[in-house]
Amino acid sequence: MAASIAIREVTKTFETADGPVHAFGPSSLDIQPGEFVSLLGPSGCGKSTLLLMVAGLLATTSGEILSRGEIVKGPRTDIGIMFQDNTLVPWRTVQGNIELQLELRGLDRNSYRDRIAQLIANVQLAGFENRFPHELSGGMQQRAALCQSLVHKPETLLLDEPLGKLDAMTRETIRRDLQNLWMSSRPTVLFVTHSIEEAVQLSNRVCIITPRPGRIERTIDIDLPWPRDLAVKKTMAFAKHVSTIQEIFHGFGVL
């Protein structure tokens, strides 16, 4: 079976007023359908850059990215994406922002009414459907953006620190929901995070990225049982994965 996402010797260099900035690569990675893969690395190591290249929103400088065997040449509409910065449009409500994703894909919003209500309830935004983004907290905006990325049931999800602005308790709840969603419909997920624990809890593989220019230094299989609830997080095996990864970052001089 063709990999859901294949990253082949990809590099990215940005041209800036101060000269070229080598942001990422070269690195390669194959992600199989239904995998949950985290990109874990320090600030500025090129995680968002890589995600945007996978989405077809940014060109690679060298190397190529394939989606199910086809070279990605431009923006992809078959995926669900959540950007690091909030991308809700200010002139639409929560409901309207979620429906925008359907409109952009030519899907009939009426047939998604129940799904939208369910997604909104799952992220605890029921009652806020008709609020505009400026009437929401940062964490609420982030939860609405998560609904946006999921509404059209994409087979591939690209999530850039989707839980970054949430308080610890909400973060744990949404993590659990995300894990349940992944276990029930098995999308391919590429997930960016700074949190070692979050990566270990959610992923079947964690990619460790070096400081800039980021390269995928190692990928670690996380062979823990599912679902990874609080009980699993308290096990020795969980702690061992976390400490292995901490040691790798310590070796980079990051921790």
Binding site for ligand ATP (CB under 6 A): 14, 16, 21, 23, 41, 43-49, 84, 212
Give CA torsion, residues 80, 85, 89, 90, to 10 deg.
Answer: 150
Using a 10 angstrom Cβ sphere, with 0-12 exposed, 13-18 middle and 19 or more buried, the burial of residue 63 is middle
Report, in Å, the least distance between residue 70 CB and ligand ATP.
Answer: 24
Q: How many residues bind Mg ion (CB under 5 A)?
A: 2
In this complex, which beta carbon is closest to Mg ion, that of residue 47 or of residue 228?
Answer: 47
The interface partner of residue 101, options being Mg ion, ligand ATP, none and the CB cut-off 5 to 8 Å by kind, is none
Answer yes or no: are the C-beta atoms of 149 and 159 closer than 8 Å. yes
Q: Is 139 helix (H, G, I), strand (E, B) or coil?
A: helix
Starting from the edge strand earliest in sequence, which strands make up the sheet with 5-16, in order?
A: 19-31, 5-16, 62-67, 70-71
Q: Does 48 bind Mg ion (CB under 5 A)?
A: yes
Residues contacting residue 136 through CB under 8 Å, at least 6 positions apart: 94, 128, 144
* CB-based closest residue to Mg ion: 48
The interface partner of residue 14, options being ligand ATP, Mg ion, none and the CB cut-off 5 to 8 Å by kind, is ligand ATP
Helix or strand (DSSP H, E) at 48: helix 47-54
Report, in Å, the least distance between residue 46 CB and ligand ATP.
Answer: 4
Site for Mg ion in 60-119 (CB under 5 A): 84
Residues 163, 250: Cα–Cα separation, whole Å = 24
Report, in Å, the least distance between residue 215 CB and Mg ion.
Answer: 16
Report, in Å, the least distance between residue 84 CB and ligand ATP.
Answer: 6
The interface partner of residue 66, options being Mg ion, ligand ATP, none and the CB cut-off 5 to 8 Å by kind, is none
Report, in Å, the least distance between residue 109 CB and Mg ion.
Answer: 31
